[in-house]
């Protein structure tokens, strides 16, 4: 009976996830098309094709990698919701991981699936409210946000978030954490082009690298 209920729940998750994913794709493609038609600003198709040819392969690769990377960590419901709402590596993933860690559940379990989905949903709602408040208050609070005194603090929000999560997981997997830490330090120090805008790409790369190292260490009896 439990298997039937679980199957029914997962079926509904996949059904709704596909529907909202398709709706999102239509909206994302429709907006620039409608704006271009309204303002008579249709791009030159040959130039657009060249630009897409140069950039799309990278995003195709990242998109495929992210699916295999995030699904085991976020679960089905969390993955669909994250891909629809966006900002996965910077916000949704840390929220889901922290929530599962505090609830002491594993990502691959039924409890982890539910906790992850709830955490990402709450994160999306809170983010939406903050954006609404930001739009309303952007003019009054702009001097505060641009204050030289507060700028260093705002620049450190994301590193502080990931740093807090890193301490928890590194303390539990000290041996396994050495290789990915060294890889990322070498990449970001030796390749200056890598910066905050490349986090979305480097997270899946780091995950795959860590999984490979973990498998190697496990076979060698090091874990």
pLDDT by 10s per residue, the chain, length 223: 455 555 577 888 888 889 988 998 899 889 888 888 888 888 888 888 877 776 776 677 777 777 887 888 888 888 898 888 888 877 888 888 889 988 888 887 888 888 999 999 999 999 899 889 888 888 888 887 778 888 788 778 777 777 777 776 777 778 888 888 888 888 878 877 776 666 666 777 777 888 888 888 888 888 7
What pLDDT was estimated at residue 167? 76
**pLDDT value of position 122:** 92
Residue with tokens 């960590």: 73
How far out from the chain centre does Cα 27 lie? Answer: 20
Rounded to an integer, what distance in angstroms lies between the CA atom of residue 91 and that of residue 67?
17
Query: Quick one: pLDDT at residue 198?
Result: 64
Cα angle 172, 215, 205; round to 5: 80
Query: How many alpha carbons fall within 13 Å on the CB side of residue 136?
Result: 6
| Spatial CB neighbours of 184, under 8 Å, sequence gap ≥ 6 | 202, 206
d(CA 203, CA 212): 14
What pLDDT, on a 0 to 100 scale, did the predictor assign at position 135? Answer: 86
Q: DSSP letters of the chain?
A: -HHHHHHHHHHHHHHHHHHHHHHHHHHHHHHHHHHHHHTT-PPPHHHHHHHHHHHHHHHHHHHHHHHHHHHHHHHHHHHHHHHHH--IIIIIHHHHHHHHHHHT--TTSHHHHHHHHHHHHHHHHHHHHHHHHHHHHHHHHHHHHT-TTTHHHHHTHHHHHHHHHHHHHHHH-HHHHHHHHHHHHHHHHH-TT--GGGHHHHHHHHHHHHHHHHHHHHHTT--
Residue 20's closest CA among 85, 116, 84, 74? 84
């Amino acid at each position: 009976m439990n298997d039937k209920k679980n199957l029914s729940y997962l079926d509904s998750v996949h059904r709704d996830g596909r529907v909202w994913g398709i709706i999102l794709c239509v909206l994302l493609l429709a907006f620039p098309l409608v704006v271009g038609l309204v303002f008579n600003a249709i791009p030159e198709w040959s130039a657009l094709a060249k630009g897409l040819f140069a950039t799309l392969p990278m995003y195709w690769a990242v998109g495929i990698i992210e699916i295999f990377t995030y699904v085991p960590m976020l679960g089905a419901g969390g993955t669909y919701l994250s891909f629809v709402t966006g900002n996965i590596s910077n916000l949704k993933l840390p929220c889901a991981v922290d929530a599962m860690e505090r609830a002491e559940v594993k990502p691959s379990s039924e409890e982890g699936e539910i906790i992850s989905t709830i955490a990402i949903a709450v994160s999306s709602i809170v983010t939406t409210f903050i954006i609404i408040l930001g739009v309303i208050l952007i003019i009054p609070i702009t001097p505060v946000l641009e204050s030289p005194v507060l700028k260093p603090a705002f620049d450190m929000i994301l590193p502080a978030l990931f740093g807090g999560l890193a301490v928890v997981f590194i303390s539990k997997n000290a041996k396994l954490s050495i290789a990915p830490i060294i890889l990322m330090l070498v990449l970001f120090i030796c390749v200056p082009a890598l910066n905050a805008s490349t986090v979305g790409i480097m997270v899946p790369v780091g995950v795959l690298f860590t999984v490979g190292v973990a498998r190697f260490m496990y076979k060698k009896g090091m874990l």
